[in-house]
Amino acid sequence: MAEETPTADRFARRLRGALRRDAKRLLTPGPSTVPMLMLGPQVPDDARVQEVLDLCMRIGEIELSSGESVDEVTATMLRLANLAGLPAVDVDITFTSITMCCHRGNAAQPVTTMRLVRYRTLDLSRLAETEEIIRDVEAGRLDVRAASSKVSEVVRHPHPYPRWVATFGWAALAASIALLLGGGPLTATTAFVTTAIIDRIGRMLARRGVAAFFQQVVGGFLVTASTVALVQLEVFPPGTRASYVVAAGITVLLSGLSVVSTVQDALTGYYLTAAARMVEISLLSAGLLTGVVLGLQLGLAMGTQIEVSGDLPSGPGQFGLSLVSGALAAAFYALAGYAPLRSLPIAGAVGASSWLVYGLLTQNAGLGQVPATGAAALVVGLAAGLLRRGTQTPPMVVTLAGVTPLLPGLAAYRGFYQLAIEGPSEGLVTITIALAVGLALAAGVALGQFVASPRRRPEDRPGGAENSPTGGAAVGSPVSDSTADGADPK
């Protein structure tokens, strides 16, 4: 028995040493360390997570389908998720879908949901109501369930005005552009009637599922062919600039292209999104070019040409008329987009301001069209950012309406005419200038909004550059209009 005691003691010491070594290996970082369990962020249960994700997805769908940039949509969704108690969330937006994932560490599986965005709509009142819901959630006046119920009501509600009001808005926009360019009452009336007919025909084609490309072809052909017919019938007296009718119609058709959102996506690092939107813009512009050229060729076969007018008329009287016309054009665009009535004066004021800056820079300072357009668009972007802080007007209303008087409708028509009649050498140069004007518009707006918008908190910022395709949509063409979830209450 005396000899067994030292042996037992040695065994106990060896056992304690082995246990200490194993414990030290477990607690000391190194290659041999067994990884400890990562619990991850504290998040609610599955039902709560699904409820929050669904609210974020539906709000993101409304904003994306309305033409918001992907960066803005992503930041809004992240901000809402963080407010609702989901701090570890990723958002991935493609051209036709939104994917959202809530991470819960190694303790629980992540929750992922996806929603398709199959419609494109220009309903600025719906966008305004959605932003009001977001403000109520941020202020604590609405919880997730109440906010989700209000979003459902927003989606189900019809447009705030009858469909004929939107048609009137598009037609009045064309008439305002004709007056802004220097046309007379007859030119403005012709542009009004022609655009109203185009809008109704485009609406009929959209209901039958005709692709947007062919809708643009039809719109461009109708505005050109109808003007050719009126010139052939000698409806216009001598000296009437019939080309302003076509230029006004082209401006209306160009107003539905999401050039601003495309450049914003490119500047914020969403290059694949910008590329996808650029393809869509190019396709729709090609459809418009095709329609206008077909109309011009028809006129040439009939012995009638709608020659491009020379320089725009100048003088104090014409400048004042153009200033008023710019304000009316912006306000009527907002009306055609179903913007709230309270935002129409704001849209008109921004449109007048943008044209005032453009006119002063081109007529008084002698600045070229492209830099003057960029400077005027900068004013629009600044106004959108500042009004976002002081009013309840969505920046999209200010942006889209404010740049409408600056759209290069006349330059585009001049390029189309040169392609059809004079040859490609002159036409391509003019079209390139029109494209440069469009890019200057978008870049100026993006810079102005960046300067004037409030700085985001770190948790509201999208996580780095884009690693997968993201997307958006062109909105607002008068020949393509639809509503959410396939409903058409008009």
pLDDT in tens, 113-158: 888 877 777 788 888 888 888 888 888 888 888 999 999 888 888 8
What single letter denotes the amino acid at residue 341? Answer: L
How many Cα atoms sit within 13 Å of 63 on the Cβ side?
27
pLDDT-based confidence at residue 195 (cuts at 50, 70, 90): very high
d(CA 95, CA 120): 11
Whole-number pLDDT of residue 43:
65
Q: Is the pLDDT of residue 448 over 70?
A: yes
User: Residue 483: what pLDDT?
Assistant: 39
pLDDT: which is higher, 228 or 419: 228
pLDDT at residue 474 in the model: 33
> Residue 324 pLDDT > 50, yes or no?
yes
Q: In what order do the strands lie in the sheet with 89-93?
A: 89-93, 97-102, 111-116
- Mean pLDDT (whole number) for 372-384: 89
For residue 267, pLDDT beyond 70: yes
Report whether pLDDT(20) > 60.
yes
**Mean pLDDT of all residues in the chain?**
80
* Mean pLDDT across 442-461: 72
Which H/E stretch holds residue 48? helix 46-65
pLDDT score of 215 more than 70: yes
What single string gives the DSSP state of each residue in 411-458?
A: HHHHHHHIIIII-HHHHHHHHHHHHHHHHHHHHHHHHHHHHHSPPPPG
Residue 27's pLDDT is what? 64
What is the distance between the alpha carbons of residues 287 and 291, in angstroms, rounded to a whole number? 6
Angle at 12 between CA 6 and CA 16, to 5 degrees: 145
Return the pLDDT at 1: 42
The single residue listed with the structure tokens 């190019």 is 282
Task: Give the pLDDT mean for 316-334.
Answer: 88
Residue 214: per-residue pLDDT: 93
What's the half-sphere exposure (Cβ side, CA atoms, 13 Å) at 392? 15
Residue 458: CB atoms within 10 A of its CB come to 5
Residue 38 has pLDDT above 50, yes or no: no
Q: Compute the average pLDDT of residues 302-308.
A: 79
Phi, psi angle pair for 340, to nearest 5°: -60, 145
Average of pLDDT values for 244-255?
Answer: 88
**5 confidence band (pLDDT: 50, 70, 90):** low
- Confidence at 488, pLDDT banded by 50, 70, 90: very low
Question: DSSP state, 341?
Answer: G
Q: Evaluate if residue 39 carries a pLDDT over 70.
A: no
pLDDT in the model for residue 457 = 56
In the structure encoding, which two tokens stand for residue 216, read together?
Answer: 């643009």
The mean per-residue pLDDT over the stretch 47-71 comes to 87
Q: 305: helix, coil or strand? A: coil
Asked if residue 30 has pLDDT above 70, the reply is no
Q: What is the pLDDT of residue 28?
A: 62
Is residue 313 within 8 Å of 410, Cβ to Cβ?
Answer: no
Q: How is residue 49 written in tokens? A: 């997570």
Which residue carries 């194993």 as its tokens? Answer: 22
pLDDT over threshold 50, residue 475: no
User: Is the model's pLDDT at 189 over the cut of 50?
Assistant: yes
**What tokens were used for 430?**
């003019």
- In this predicted structure, what is the pLDDT of residue 319? 82
pLDDT above 90 covers a percentage of the chain that reads 18
- Average confidence (pLDDT) over 185-209: 91
Q: What is the mean pLDDT of residues 405-422?
A: 82
Task: Tell me the range of 194-198, 206-210, 279-283, 454-458 where mean pLDDT is highest.
Answer: 194-198
Whether the predicted pLDDT of 4 surpasses 80: no
Greater confidence (123 vs 201) lies with: 201
Among 182-191, 311-320, 468-477, the minimum mean pLDDT is found in 468-477
User: By the 8 A CB rule, do 355 and 323 touch?
Assistant: yes
Is residue 350 over pLDDT 50?
yes
The pLDDT confidence band at residue 468, using thresholds 50, 70 and 90, is very low
Average pLDDT over residues 478-490: 39
H or E segment to which residue 190 belongs: helix 185-207
Q: Is 116 helix (H, G, I), strand (E, B) or coil?
A: strand
Best-predicted range by mean pLDDT (61-70, 213-222, 306-315): 213-222
pLDDT value, residue 158: 82
Computed from CA positions of residues 230, 231, 233, 234, in that sequence, does the dihedral angle turn out positive or negative?
A: positive
| pLDDT band (50, 70, 90) for residue 418 | confident
Asked if pLDDT for residue 186 goes beyond 50, the answer is: yes
Residue 430 contacts residue 441 (beta carbons within 8 Å): no
